[in-house]
Amino acid sequence: MSQTTERILVAESVSRKFLVRQGLFAKKKTLTAVDAASFFLKKGECLGLVGESGCGKSTLGRLSCGLLQPTQGSILFCGTPLPPAGAGSWARGRIQMIFQDPFSSLNPRMTVQDAVAEPLTARGIPRAERIQAAEDMLARVGLKGTGKRYPHEFSGGQRQRIAIARSVMTHPDIIICDEAVSALDASVQAQILNLLKDMQEEFSPAYLFISHDLNIVGFMCQRILVMYLGRLLEEGPTEELFRHPAHPYTEALLAARNGLDASHPPLTGEIPSPLDPPAGCAFHPRCPYRKPLCEETMPPWTELSPGWRVRCHVAQQRVSCSQRSG
Ligand code: SF4
């Protein structure tokens, strides 16, 4: 894989707020879906973004491709502020997105060859060439000779192959995969994940891989961001996070995969409302390690080693203990 250290996407203290009304006559309240998130994506890497459903992962994914604009902060793509996604955007075709449900993003009245060829339209390529390129790409994803069929004639896994074929047509720099395999059976999931890896080998896009499933993220990604209630809490290399999770929330997510792991405390309680987030550390109502300080003061970022950082008042001691005990 042609992975370099070049940062092609840099998010700096990005927040996204929405005004929401919880009842017909209720006053509007501010919901902070993403709160001061800073991260970067390197050329050709696969960066995982994990957290429970509703934590702001998808909003951060949409911010990262220009489908949403930040309320505060900035997102730089190749060093330049990312413009809103759309027909006139200079970044069009350079950042693509694959969604959980490809059926909703494919036009039911368009043949799949037209759907796959569509991202090339803005480049002024003649239709016959676009269609040939789409047929070639469909063959690459295992759907040779199916171009004249319509989306409803395919299974969920096949539709996700079509979405992948469409996403790589413009040889994008970045593909944002938002729960791209969550709706598929385990055996089909494995095929699609391997196809995404093959496409990365061939076309070298960086992936921002959004998922609630740590097994999948562990298989796909070199680095991981952990998100909770709109905030990033831990960022680091996959191997380090899996061996010595520094944040209690990361530890709880790891414990929950493949059933409960008795060596880690399980995750209990409900995720608080983002309309009324807890003071201090947002995770404190569910944290088995909380101290009085955690209820008042939001922990700052602590760097544990180059590229590995965490927001927790006790993480450093916990990681040191965990590393000493092997
Ligand atoms: Fe738990 Fe405190 Fe760390 Fe938050 S800062 S995760 S409450 S120990």
Residues 260 and 165 both lie in one domain: no
- Whether 252 and 264 have beta carbons less than 8 Å apart is answered as yes
Residues 251 and 209 both lie in one domain: no
Structural domain includes residue 235: no
Q: Give the distance (Å) from ligand 1 centre to CA of residue 242.
A: 19
CA pair distance 183, 157, nearest whole angstrom: 9
Q: Tokens 């239709």 belong to which residue?
A: 127
Structural domain includes residue 84: yes
Residue 157 CB less than 6 A away from ligand 1? no
- For residue 289, the ligand 1 atom closest to its alpha carbon is 8
- Top mutation candidate among 283, 302, 304 for ligand 1, by most atoms within 8 Å of CB: 283
Q: Give the distance (Å) from ligand 1 centre to CA of residue 264.
A: 15
Residue 231 CB less than 6 A away from ligand 1? no
Structural domain includes residue 228: no
Across 146-152, average pLDDT: 96
pLDDT of residue 283: 96
Mean residue pLDDT of the chain comes to 91
- For residue 281, the ligand 1 atom closest to its alpha carbon is 4
Structural domain includes residue 233: no
Residues 279 and 157 both lie in one domain: no
Residues 205 and 151 both lie in one domain: yes
Indicate if the pLDDT at residue 129 is higher than 90.
yes
Indicate if the pLDDT at residue 4 is higher than 60.
no
Residues 55 and 174 both lie in one domain: yes
Residue 280 CB less than 6 A away from ligand 1? no
Give the pLDDT confidence of 11-39 residue by residue, as tens digits: 999 999 999 987 778 888 999 999 999 99
Residues 311 and 200 both lie in one domain: no
Q: Give the distance (Å) from ligand 1 centre to CA of residue 284.
A: 6
Residues 217 and 247 both lie in one domain: no
Burial annotation 292-311 (CB, 10 A radius, 16+ → b, else e): eebeeeebeeeebeeebbbb
Structural domain includes residue 236: no
Q: Give the distance (Å) from ligand 1 centre to CA of residue 289.
A: 6
Residues 11 and 75 both lie in one domain: yes
Structural domain includes residue 226: no
Residue 36 CB less than 6 A away from ligand 1? no
Q: Show which of 186, 221, 256 is a domain's final residue.
A: 221
Residues 184 and 312 both lie in one domain: no
User: Given pLDDT bands bounded at 50, 70 and 90, which one contains residue 265?
Assistant: low
Q: Show which of 156, 191, 221 is a domain's final residue.
A: 221
Q: Which of 127, 190, 201, 191 is nearest to 168 (CA)?
A: 201
Please give the backbone phi and psi of residue 93, each rounded to the nearest 5 degrees, phi first: 90, -15
User: Given pLDDT bands bounded at 50, 70 and 90, which one contains residue 270?
Assistant: confident
State whether residue 190 is helix, strand or coil: helix
pLDDT of residue 91: 84
Q: Give the distance (Å) from ligand 1 centre to CA of residue 73.
A: 26
Residue 150 CB less than 6 A away from ligand 1? no
Least confident of 38-47, 49-58, 163-172, 248-257: 248-257
Contacts of 221 (CB under 8 A, 6+ apart): 46, 47, 48, 207, 209, 238
Across 130-141, average pLDDT: 96
Q: Give the distance (Å) from ligand 1 centre to CA of residue 85.
A: 37
Of all residues in the chain, the percent with pLDDT exceeding 90 is 77
Please give the backbone phi and psi of residue 41, each rounded to the nearest 5 degrees, phi first: -125, 125
Tell me, rounded to whole angstroms, the distance of Cα 323 from its chain centroid. Answer: 29
pLDDT of residue 165: 95
Q: Give the distance (Å) from ligand 1 centre to CA of residue 44.
A: 33
- Top mutation candidate among 231, 247, 290 for ligand 1, by most atoms within 8 Å of CB: 290
Across 134-155, average pLDDT: 96
Indicate if the pLDDT at residue 211 is higher than 90.
yes
Residues 188 and 291 both lie in one domain: no
Structural domain includes residue 278: yes
Indicate if the pLDDT at residue 325 is higher than 90.
no
Structural domain includes residue 26: yes
Domain count, the chain: 2
Across 289-294, average pLDDT: 94
pLDDT of residue 149: 97
Residue 283 CB less than 6 A away from ligand 1? yes
Give the pLDDT confidence of 46-104 residue by residue, as tens digits: 999 999 989 999 999 999 999 999 999 999 999 999 998 877 788 888 999 999 887 77
CA pair distance 75, 85, nearest whole angstrom: 13
State whether residue 152 is helix, strand or coil: helix
Q: Give the distance (Å) from ligand 1 centre to CA of residue 283.
A: 6
Residues 217 and 273 both lie in one domain: no
- For residue 288, the ligand 1 atom closest to its alpha carbon is 1
Contacts of 95 (CB under 8 A, 6+ apart): 64, 65, 66, 77, 82, 85, 172, 173, 174, 175, 176
pLDDT of residue 159: 94
Indicate if the pLDDT at residue 263 is higher than 70.
no
| Model pTM score | 0.93
List beta partners, residue 77: 9, 80
CATH code at position 16: 3.40.50.300
Q: Show which of 221, 256, 280 is a domain's final residue.
A: 221
Across 198-215, average pLDDT: 95
Q: Which of 320, 296, 185 is nearest to 246 (CA)?
A: 320
User: Given pLDDT bands bounded at 50, 70 and 90, which one contains residue 2?
Assistant: very low
- Write out the residue range of the structural domain in which residue 128 sits: 3-221
Q: Give the distance (Å) from ligand 1 centre to CA of residue 297.
A: 10
46-50 and 72-77 strand pairing: unpaired
Residues 137 and 194 both lie in one domain: yes
User: Given pLDDT bands bounded at 50, 70 and 90, which one contains residue 1?
Assistant: very low
Contacts of 14 (CB under 8 A, 6+ apart): 34, 36, 37, 38, 60, 63, 70, 72, 73, 74, 75
